[in-house]
Chains A and B, each alone.
Chain A
Amino acid sequence: MGRRLGRRTKGQEDDAVARGFADGPLSRDLDANLRELKAIFDRCSDVVFREFVFAQCNGTRLALVYTDGLADKAQVSDQIMRALALEVPVAAGGRRIGKGRALEFIKKRGLCMHQIAETDRLQEVVRAVLSGDTVLLVDGHATAIVNVARSPETRRVADSEVEPTVRGPREAFVETLRVNTSLIRRKIKSPSLKIETLRLGRVTGTEVAVVYIEGIANDKLVPEVKDRLGRIQVDGILETGYIEELIEDNPWTFFPTVNITEKPDRVAAMLLEGRAAVIVDGSPFVMTMPNLLVEYVHSTEDYYERFLFVSAVRVVRFLSLVASLTLPAAYIAAVSFHHELLPTTLLLSIAAQREAVPYPVLVEVLIMEVLFEILREAGLRLPRPLGQAISIVGALVIGEAAIRAGLVAASTVIVVAVTGIGSFVLGYRLSIAFRLLRFILTLLSAALGLFGLVAGMAVVIIHLCTLRSFGVPYLSPIVPTTVVDLKDVVFRAPWWAMFTRPRLIARRDRTRQAPDLEPGPPGARSRGRR
């Protein structure tokens, strides 16, 4: 704890070694600097060196270093080169200035750039060039000017594909960090929204941003997140998944303890409840933390649609949560152990379907489950139009044929199909955890009947009770029970009743709105409930 961002540690010295050059100060001699940089960028064909002479000051040589494709070429030619090599003499009224004042003059009057920075470290120069900035070196000065003129080429902000909604914003994050931070900033126009960036990955030098709202986020959360991020010493960060596995509370669990979303509105809502978000450059997914189990049962739409309807839909989701975990196991237990559990007519009907099936129920269920997994995987990997065809062939043709061939009973197909579809109702990441657990529970149930299922569920529930995400119990607010926060678990309170933020996530300043917002017809409206 308490380790500051950007503090030089032994690990960061190792970064330099990994990058292949030693850090040092810039020289006053332009040639020396260029020699050094050209040595660093040896065989980097995309790095461009452009030398020219400053028009205002005879003999003052300038050099631009930038990466082709990352820097905005039009801005480099127009706003930097044209300004410095041609236009400046006119603007300065014909007076010449000395070499010593060249840097100051360029900074103040010469550049038509919206954002510049200065540096005297070689490492900073290299990093700027590789990030897409354009570095201007001035002869006789040991300071370089970093012009932020990155190429605007990036994927367009498009509809969310992983988390589609009927009502609510459709936009999704893209791969560029700055676009993503802007999407969040557009939703939360407050200076309290803090976006702190750091670089992770000794070779990739990936930009990572920690986002939170000061005053709402828990005091201990943000330093903890930054501390965990600061500990990461790996070669490369290509996706949020790299970071997730390095900062989890419990790495040995089936359950995800860091939430991932591609929707800016979801991130904004999480931030407003006091969570922190981590954005990784190059990934269209944003991590939010701490993460609770109930988040996977909720959807952003829950907060946009009418609360009574939403509460009813959430009951369905919780049912499918239970079903997707235990249905095949319960089916096996009922059919091969506890025939008493089924109504007589259903028992006879299942018995009739199974007359011709040669396998025990377990084998039958496993055949269908594995088949289902194959179809799902195929649907994911294939190009989209083909994926649909595969699911139709799989679901309709194979299922129907398997029943007709007497390979599986119709009731088994129903159970496996309901389970599979039920798991899609939940958040994708929880459903993949359930997929694994379901197989274990199925085997337990086939060996020991309901006893096995109940024992297995007991282990799962005990495990869930011990899980924490950034110190917050994973099952909260159900276990431990926080009565006020049950307003948003199965039942979703209407917005005028959502007085407080979740207690275990945002500990400070929990009130989030005025107390008497319940609307009504004019006159009947309550004027301040006391």
Chain B
Amino acid sequence: MRGVAIILILALLAAFCGGCWSRREITEIAIVLGMGLDLTPDGRVGLSLQIARPGAFYGGGDTAGGEGRVACWVVRGEGETLEEAAAYLAGKVPRELYWGHSVVLIFGEEMARRGVGAVADFFGRKREPRETMWVTVAEGRASDVLECHSVLEKTSAQAAAFLVTMGLGTAVRFREFVESLADEGVEPIATRVTVREVGVTPCPGEAGAVGPHRQAETSGTAVFRGDKLVGWLDQAETRGLLWLKGRAVGQVLTVRVPGKPEGWLSFRARRQRAEIVPRLEGGSVRFDVNLVAEFDMVEQGGIGDFAGPDQIRGSERLLAGAMEAEAGAVVERVRSAYGSDIFGFGDAFHRKYKREWHEMKGRWDEEFARAEVRINARAFVRETGLLTIRAETGRE
């Protein structure tokens, strides 16, 4: 028994020989919340990091710690490569950079147009940055997004991440971005972020009220071809893209009712699915895209009573038509203007025609540009809310 005890004690002592291996106290790290990548005028990589100032996040309240002070600090470094830029920052930031809590990766427009392959490689190799961070492309400079402020959130990086998470636009995680970068059958997309001057009404008489200031907001989709940015989609086009990706839950679609000049109906998608069926007919490629969506009616005007099965069926036809139009428009736009297959038509074709794909993938761009795309949408209206008739029509 004594022998066992001695062995245990020795094992315990041996455990401590490592001497706090890779220990890093929380006060020794600089927590990076957001990362921005820009091209410097001389063509090098500019890395902007938004680093949290923990003092400002103190929840205690009674200690005046960071009240009213800026919650973050944006530092910029540059170098031939990203690692060089990060090493350069080590001389500016008195703590060790910690990337594990970075929520958003922002490419500057110029950087994105030049190509982001090397950047994706850097973040893919590094241990700390998460695969779950959101990938966005800033219209203009990425550092501008990191430097502006949010009224609601403490830092603009968090605000941008929440916008992507909660919003109805494109949302792409780093992992998905890299996957589509590597995949030959689909091109990457990212969220488009714009910095705008906004006027916020200051709360009257309140100290520290916010006046007009610059604020980041999501504004559509960035379209890539290979690892290069080729163009943008606006909010409406983004919705068309989302129908095709089967991710349009929460989107609001408004249709005009024929025959009633003032009549319109507004629907919110509650469930949505998309299926791309490729067909190879005599050497020419055709895609049948089947869209299925379920909607709730959320608002209407100029219709009066809206509850009957005929009306619901009619509105389903209208919705299907609207979806087809939106999706078709975005396919044509992206195909003709950007020549990029961001929808995954190539993947769908690859899955079904394995052998043919290997022959065609070299000239897929031309094949895709020529291919016929037929969109066929089906819509179902599930709920019409708590009212059956509008309040003011009930009086008549």
Chain A contact residues, CB within 8 Å of chain B? 251-252, 335-337, 339-340, 344-345, 347-355, 357, 360-361, 410, 440, 443-444, 446-449, 452, 455
CB-CB nearest in chain B for A455: B15
Contact between B27 and A447, CB atoms less than 8 A apart: no
Contact between B22 and A355, CB atoms less than 8 A apart: no
B101 within 8 A of A: yes
Contact between A344 and B101, CB atoms less than 8 A apart: yes
Chain B residues with CB below 8 A from A455, complex form: 15
Tell me how far the C-beta of B66 lies from the nearest C-beta in chain A, rounded to whole angstroms. Answer: 7
Identify 13 residue pairs between A and B in the complex whose beta-carbon atoms are under 8 Å apart, listed by A's number.
Answer: A252-B4, A347-B31, A347-B101, A350-B26, A351-B54, A352-B65, A352-B66, A360-B23, A444-B15, A447-B21, A448-B21, A449-B22, A452-B15
Q: A340-B128, A449-B22 are in contact. List 16 more A-B contacts (CB 8 A).
A: A251-B1, A252-B1, A252-B5, A335-B26, A344-B33, A344-B101, A347-B31, A347-B101, A349-B58, A349-B59, A351-B26, A443-B16, A444-B15, A446-B23, A447-B20, A452-B15
Contact between B60 and A410, CB atoms less than 8 A apart: yes
Chain B residues with CB below 8 A from A353, complex form: 58, 60
CA distance A455 to B130 in the complex (A): 26
Contact between B27 and A448, CB atoms less than 8 A apart: no
Partner of A447, one of B4, B5, B18: B18
CA distance A351 to B31 in the complex (A): 9
CA distance A455 to B16 in the complex (A): 13
CA distance A360 to B57 in the complex (A): 20
B29 within 8 A of A: yes
Chain B residues with CB below 8 A from A452, complex form: 15
Contact between A446 and B60, CB atoms less than 8 A apart: no
Chain A residues with CB below 8 A from B31, complex form: 339, 344, 347-348, 351
CA distance A215 to B193 in the complex (A): 79
Partner of A339, one of B12, B65, B100: B100
Contact between A447 and B15, CB atoms less than 8 A apart: yes
- Counting chain B residues whose Cβ lies within 8 A of the other chain, the interface size class is 35 or more
Chain B contact residues, CB within 8 Å of chain A? 1, 4-5, 12, 15-16, 18-27, 29, 31, 33, 52, 54-60, 65-66, 98, 100-101, 103, 128, 130, 158
Contact between A449 and B23, CB atoms less than 8 A apart: yes
Chain B residues with CB below 8 A from A361, complex form: 25-26
Contact between A448 and B15, CB atoms less than 8 A apart: yes
CA distance A344 to B56 in the complex (A): 14
Tell me how far the C-beta of A408 lies from the nearest C-beta in chain B, rounded to whole angstroms. Answer: 13
Contact between B52 and A348, CB atoms less than 8 A apart: yes
CA distance A335 to B33 in the complex (A): 17
Chain A residues with CB below 8 A from B54, complex form: 348, 351-352, 354-355
Chain B residues with CB below 8 A from A360, complex form: 23, 25
CA distance A252 to B4 in the complex (A): 10
Chain B residues with CB below 8 A from A349, complex form: 57-59
The 6 closest A-B pairs by CB, nearest first: A351-B54, A348-B57, A352-B58, A352-B54, A340-B100, A352-B57
CB-CB nearest in chain A for B65: A352
CA distance A25 to B328 in the complex (A): 117
Chain A residues with CB below 8 A from B24, complex form: 336-337, 339
Contact between A339 and B1, CB atoms less than 8 A apart: no
Tell me how far the C-beta of A347 lies from the nearest C-beta in chain B, rounded to whole angstroms. Answer: 6
Chain A residues with CB below 8 A from B56, complex form: 352
CB-CB nearest in chain B for A361: B25
Tell me how far the C-beta of A348 lies from the nearest C-beta in chain B, rounded to whole angstroms. Answer: 4
CB-CB nearest in chain B for A341: B100
Tell me how far the C-beta of A320 lies from the nearest C-beta in chain B, rounded to whole angstroms. Answer: 25
- Most chain B beta-carbon contacts within 10 A, residue among A251, A335, A344, A444: A344
Tell me how far the C-beta of B69 lies from the nearest C-beta in chain A, rounded to whole angstroms. Answer: 12
- Most chain B beta-carbon contacts within 10 A, residue among A252, A339, A354: A339
CB-CB nearest in chain A for B71: A348
Chain B residues with CB below 8 A from A345, complex form: 57
Contact between B25 and A448, CB atoms less than 8 A apart: no
CA distance A452 to B33 in the complex (A): 29
Contact between A337 and B23, CB atoms less than 8 A apart: yes
Chain A residues with CB below 8 A from B33, complex form: 344
Tell me how far the C-beta of B385 lies from the nearest C-beta in chain A, rounded to whole angstroms. Answer: 35
CA distance A340 to B101 in the complex (A): 7
Partner of B26, one of A336, A344, A449: A336
